[in-house]
């Protein structure tokens, strides 16, 4: 271990380090995947740029040479078990076993190498504001510059695409991906996801926006036709009545009250590979809780009752997805329209067997605890359906 740190210190002092990567996290549950390190020139000072690569984002920090040594010593082997150091003349690899035994391997390089001391360029925007549909949707000028009062909205749209992309890349799809965006509204997020997927995925993307307001549907379809976007359309329909012969990804963001349940149910019954929801209201469960008269220290006061109703509503939704064979995640979601509803519920279809009896028992116990006679999604899962 110390021999490796001696080589690293020598590479830094002699200015011969090209790059370094810390990988293989000790914790399998760590969101931090690896760290990429490279020398840079910052205001005429030699520094090392650390890029922390998380599952869905990158963070960058700069350290001087002494700080770089301290950082690497603190991270290896406590956080990462593998280190790859590349210098102008040598490759050095440090591997730490599960038992903590270090092994170092060195290899001389024959090719000519040079340092790249430039900064990493600012990450390219996931969405290109110069695309004509953004002007037609009212987010940019004709020249492709985001309007001042739409800057925040555009950042939110890009963040949404980043999150959905991270979820989709964990899912296996065929050569065509059929996506339905329920309650698509003005179409900002639908267009953003379509643009990103058709640009970055080597698959045929078929996108439908489902919206009940006729004027919005007509306006969006005019934009789609004007921009000649293929396999993309908006349809006038409610979430409950929407029908699809082929559905891989169902998205429903802030569908009001039980409309979120209708969307989840639509995804389940269409055997969607991925269901992504940002739930909105909890009115149905709150009414059930108020009707039962069961209160405790958590639900005695109005605000507590409201928050508990939210948690119960979404917990049962997650349980229902598990019951139907989905690996479920509940995560924090950056709100789209300045709403406090910032939970993202993700269900990914799994082939693993499910103990349905155990999941159903958990649902029943949770509902019984608060005197809830029925949960809209749980009740309607069985309606006119023999599958479950």
What SS3 class is residue 329? strand
Say which residue the tokens 């891989």 belong to. 248
Count Cβ atoms within 10 A of the Cβ of residue 219 and give its class: 0-12 exposed, 13-18 middle, 19 or more buried.
Answer: middle
Distance CA 314, CA 330 (A): 9
Count Cβ atoms within 10 A of the Cβ of residue 297 and give its class: 0-12 exposed, 13-18 middle, 19 or more buried.
Answer: exposed
pLDDT tens per residue, range 334-350:
544 444 456 788 999 99
Distance CA 14, CA 355 (A): 60
How would DSSP label each residue in 149-207?
GGHHHHHHHHHHHHHHHHHHTTS---SEEEEEEET-TTSHHHHHHHHHHHHH-SSEEEE
Distance CA 190, CA 209 (A): 7
Say which residue the tokens 């963001």 belong to. 253
Whether the bond between 77 and the residue before it is cis, its omega within 30 degrees of 0, is yes
CA–CA–CA angle 42, 44, 45 (5° rounding): 65
CA–CA–CA angle 100, 103, 104 (5° rounding): 140
* Sheet order of strands, 102-108 included: 58-63, 45-54, 32-42, 17-25, 80-87, 90-96, 102-108
CA dihedral 164, 266, 133, 188 (to 10 degrees): -60
Distance CA 73, CA 5 (A): 8
Distance CA 58, CA 198 (A): 23
Give the tokens for residue 190: 């639908």
Distance CA 279, CA 340 (A): 11
Residues in a beta bridge with 346: 276, 329
Q: What is the CATH number of domain 132-381?
A: 3.40.50.150
pLDDT of amino acid 20:
95
Backbone angles phi, psi at 232, to 5 degrees: -145, 130
Pick from 361, 371, 353: which is nearest to 291 by CA?
Answer: 371
Asked whether 74 and 9 are in contact (CB, 8 A), the reply is no
pLDDT of amino acid 338:
43
pLDDT of amino acid 86:
94
pLDDT of amino acid 339:
47
pLDDT of amino acid 387:
57
Distance CA 253, CA 343 (A): 10
How would DSSP label each residue in 31-100?
SEEEEEEEEEEETTEEEEEEEEEESS-EEEEEE-HHHHHHHHHHHTTTTEEEEEEEESSEEEEEEE-TT-
pLDDT of amino acid 121:
47
pLDDT of amino acid 258:
76
CA dihedral 260, 263, 264, 270 (to 10 degrees): 180
Which residues of the chain are under the pLDDT cut of 50? 121-123, 335-340
Distance CA 217, CA 284 (A): 29
Q: Domain residue spans in the chain?
A: 2-108, 132-381
Give the tokens for residue 345: 């519920």
Distance CA 239, CA 116 (A): 53
């Amino acid at each position: 271990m110390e021999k490796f740190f001696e080589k690293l210190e020598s590479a830094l002092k002699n200015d011969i380090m090209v790059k370094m990567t810390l990988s293989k996290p000790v914790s399998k549950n760590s969101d931090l995947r690896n760290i990429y390190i490279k020398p840079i020139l910052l205001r005429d000072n030699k520094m090392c740029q650390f890029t922390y690569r998380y599952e869905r984002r990158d963070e960058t920090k700069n350290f001087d040479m002494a700080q770089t040594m301290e950082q690497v010593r603190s991270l290896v082997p406590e956080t990462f078990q593998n280190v790859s150091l590349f210098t102008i003349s040598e490759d050095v690899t440090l591997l730490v076993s599960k038992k903590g035994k270090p092994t170092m391997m060195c290899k001389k390089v024959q090719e000519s190498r040079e340092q790249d001391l430039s900064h990493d360029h600012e990450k390219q925007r996931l969405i290109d504001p110069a695309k004509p549909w953004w002007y037609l949707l009212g987010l940019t000028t004709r020249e492709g510059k985001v309007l001042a009062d739409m800057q925040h909205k555009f950042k939110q749209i890009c963040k949404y695409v980043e999150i959905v992309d991270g979820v989709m890349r964990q899912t296996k799809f065929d050569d065509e991906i059929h996506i339905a965006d329920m309650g698509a509204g003005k179409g900002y997020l639908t267009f953003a996801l379509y643009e990103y997927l058709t640009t970055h995925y080597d698959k045929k993307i078929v996108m439908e926006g489902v919206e009940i307001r006729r004027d919005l549907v007509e306006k969006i379809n005019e934009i789609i036709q004007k921009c000649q976007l293929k396999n993309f359309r908006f349809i006038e329909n409610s979430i409950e009545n929407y029908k699809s012969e082929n559905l891989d990804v169902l998205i429903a963001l802030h569908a009001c009250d039980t409309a979120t349940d209708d969307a989840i149910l639509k995804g389940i019954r269409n055997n969607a590979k991925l269901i992504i929801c940002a739930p909105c209201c909890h009115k149905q469960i709150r009414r059930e809780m108020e009707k039962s008269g069961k209160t405790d220290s958590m639900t005695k006061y109005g605000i507590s009752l409201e928050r508990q109703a939210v948690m119960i509503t979404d917990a049962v939704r997650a349980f229902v997805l598990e019951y139907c064979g989905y690996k479920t995640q509940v995560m924090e979601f950056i709100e789209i329209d300045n709403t406090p509803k910032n939970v993202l519920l993700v269900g990914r279809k799994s082939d693993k067997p499910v103990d349905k009896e155990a999941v159903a028992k958990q649902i029943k116990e949770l509902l019984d605890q608060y005197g809830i006679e029925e949960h809209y999604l749980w009740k309607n899962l069985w309606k006119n359906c023999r599958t479950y």
